[in-house]
Structure 1
């Protein structure tokens, strides 16, 4: 990787932390903690700093995340990180204890028969595995079901650090802040809140404003404060005709061609849309390469072979095309939310708002929503009308 396309992507020093983050950094190694905050408030950062602190203290720890891409991003931020995806880790733990996987109740990832898991742990004659001496750090903790927290409690997990935001719940098997707090036996007054928006503090005021327009309003997790500095780039909802698709693709590629350190995220509603954008962008990037400009293009989808994951880099400029469910915890300079026509509008519109709140908040500086002309778009119902928040062509 050349210096030309290297992004600023590293953990902050102690002098760069806010007072609230610094206080978290000095928490004792022992005990149970719950950190709640909206997107961009630094939950993942303080969780990673926690891991670095525990490693320095020679304490056994494990950093647990929900999805593959967040694991990759965390490992690139802190290469020595002891990290795992929670579902795979728990299934492996269950196999070591009982010789079999936990029984799934549905096709939803992580939706196991937690009552049966609990009964197996309680009725076991002798436990070969205990979490008593392991410090568990859990990022995006709202995406783990309550049964998971109850199970690790039965396995003597005494040292827990959970970062969560109820307003970013976009999985089916999840926990509320109250449920996590009750499982960890943390009084509400000891719950730690982060409110300062660091992600959009320099050039992302209008991004934060659009994210705020989708805020579902769940009081369990307050939304981040709007950053003080104004930006000049209001997000766009751009409606395009099919002949303009290739023009849009070329413009996306040119963003990185002209600004090699820019990381662009293309967030898509379905795997078919992801494939369409990925292949079109890769072809356009190939044409640009012939003219001497290198634009790295990568994608991620469920079931992807591990050897292909090496192309995904968060510490350099490029374009990453992903599905909406894979975007949790990630950060891009610019985000394109592709073909919003194909997003489902849930009867409970707050569910769809949570998804758009999460997707928009991935961006540091700019957001574009793309809509196909002539096709029905159910999510128009939740789009803000205010042109100072979301412009339209």
Structure 2
């Protein structure tokens, strides 16, 4: 992820930072519009007023990235995740785990939590800045309003909204936000060619996303005889572009580990690192070194790379017309700044890309 200076921000992004420091606010925008970085800058701006500010990130890799590359912006704030914050907050103020409705303790009983706070007359002066705010439940935002927690939410509604997630309108109602969400409309990440391909997977034709000015190569889909054949190409690509960050985004942790082993055999171990949830050997990424990074689709949200390889396109066998499948590919496409490659094995091109015209996606038999 590129971290712009304050002088590099456009008018929309400056407006996001300059929102009033009181009350609740909602910011929206498509992938590449800078929502995550505006969340960081917004949290930093609030912290300069002496507020107790916490910044929610969606994933641990993104948490690690911000800690490494934005220390001047994050040193005065707490960079955390939703579950960590809720559990720490409740333990600190109520000396117990938060009430929950599941055995694991991660589906919180917000009705009971509201009742506890109201009975004790509890109020909080905390302020939260939340990235990927659509991922959190409506009841959480209602609780924040009741106990006085100030909230700035950055959200992208062009995402799958599940049972425990929230639409923009639900967030605004829960937080009693009177104004319409502030919209970031410029795509600052992708080339025009990548953004055009990504638009083919959008689920709402009403989305208005400005076409990037920067142009580049048309994304490519490769039919490969084996995974090792593809990794030979990745090795050559790395040799030609040693300073580019390369993201290899895998559908499963098993494939991720197999690719890491194969790259190690190719003498690329010192240039490669992987992140896998729950794997103590792959739980940290140093974003200042090792330009080849392997992550799963579950952990890549919010990250970006100069070049992206999706090595296991044949693993995406779900209904290509489903909202979930289309949004997953929208997310995959928009991780790449410069180059984007999909690869599959087998005789038949995966259905999710079979209808994409040649003008948007170049096809090669490797």
State the TM-score, normalized to the length of structure 1: 0.83
Distance (whole Å) between structure 1 residues aligned to residue 103 and residue 245 of structure 2: 36
Q: Secondary structure at the match of 1:168?
A: coil
Q: Secondary structure at the match of 1:70?
A: helix
Q: CA deviation at 1:47?
A: 1.1
CA 1:296–1:173 in 2, change beyond 3 Å: closer, same or farther? farther
Q: CA deviation at 1:389?
A: 0.5
Q: Secondary structure at the match of 1:267?
A: strand
Q: Secondary structure at the match of 2:242?
A: coil
Q: Which residue of 1 aligns with 2:100?
A: 103
Q: Which residue of 1 aligns with 2:240?
A: 258
Q: Which residue of 2 aligns with 1:234?
A: 218
* 2:261 counterpart (262, 276, 279): 279
Q: Which residue of 2 aligns with 1:297?
A: 272
Corresponding position: 1:112 with 2:102: no
CA 1:48–1:381 in 2, change beyond 3 Å: closer, same or farther? closer
Q: CA deviation at 1:262?
A: 1.0
Stretch deviating more after TM superposition (348-357 or 162-171) = 162-171
Q: CA deviation at 1:358?
A: 0.8
Contiguous gaps of at least 5 residues in structure 2 = none
CA 1:110–1:18 in 2, change beyond 3 Å: closer, same or farther? farther
Write out per-residue CA displacement over residues 86-107 of structure 1, whole angstroms, 9 at most, x where no aligned residue.
Answer: 1121122233426124324488
User: Which residues of 2 match residues 330-345 of structure 1 at below 5 A?
Assistant: 330-345=303-318
User: Which residues of 2 match residues 60-71 of structure 1 at below 5 A?
Assistant: 60-71=52-63
Distance (whole Å) between structure 1 residues aligned to residue 14 and residue 69 of structure 2: 19
Q: CA deviation at 1:217?
A: 1.1
Distance (whole Å) between structure 2 residues aligned to residue 126 and residue 118 of structure 1: 10
Stretch deviating more after TM superposition (264-273 or 169-178) = 169-178
Q: Which residue of 2 aligns with 1:21?
A: 13
Q: CA deviation at 1:336?
A: 1.1
Q: Which residue of 2 aligns with 1:4?
A: none
* 2:157 counterpart (139, 144, 166): 166
CA 1:193–1:110 in 2, change beyond 3 Å: closer, same or farther? farther
Corresponding position: 1:183 with 2:174: yes
Q: Which residue of 1 aligns with 2:185?
A: 195
What is the aligned residue count? Answer: 359
Distance (whole Å) between structure 2 residues aligned to residue 247 and residue 30 of structure 1: 56
Stretch deviating more after TM superposition (383-392 or 42-51) = 383-392
Distance (whole Å) between structure 2 residues aligned to residue 116 and residue 44 of structure 1: 32
CA 1:35–1:110 in 2, change beyond 3 Å: closer, same or farther? farther
Write out per-residue CA displacement over residues 64-116 of structure 1, whole angstroms, 9 at most, x where no aligned residue.
Answer: 11211111122223122521111121122233426124324488x95434334
CA 1:349–1:120 in 2, change beyond 3 Å: closer, same or farther? same
Write out per-residue CA displacement over residues 37-67 of structure 1, whole angstroms, 9 at most, x where no aligned residue.
Answer: 0011011111111122223333221111121
Distance (whole Å) between structure 2 residues aligned to residue 60 and residue 74 of structure 1: 18
Q: Which residue of 2 aligns with 1:3?
A: none
Q: Which residue of 2 aligns with 1:38?
A: 30
- Aligned 8 A contact 2:313 2:343 in 1: yes
Write out per-residue CA displacement over residues 159-204 of structure 1, whole angstroms, 9 at most, x where no aligned residue.
Answer: 21111101133776321111111112123x531001111002xxx2
Q: Please give the root-mean-square deviation of Cα atoms over the aligned residues, in Å.
A: 2.6
Contiguous gaps of at least 5 residues in structure 1 = 1-8, 290-294
Q: CA deviation at 1:206?
A: 1.1
* 2:231 counterpart (249, 256, 263): 249
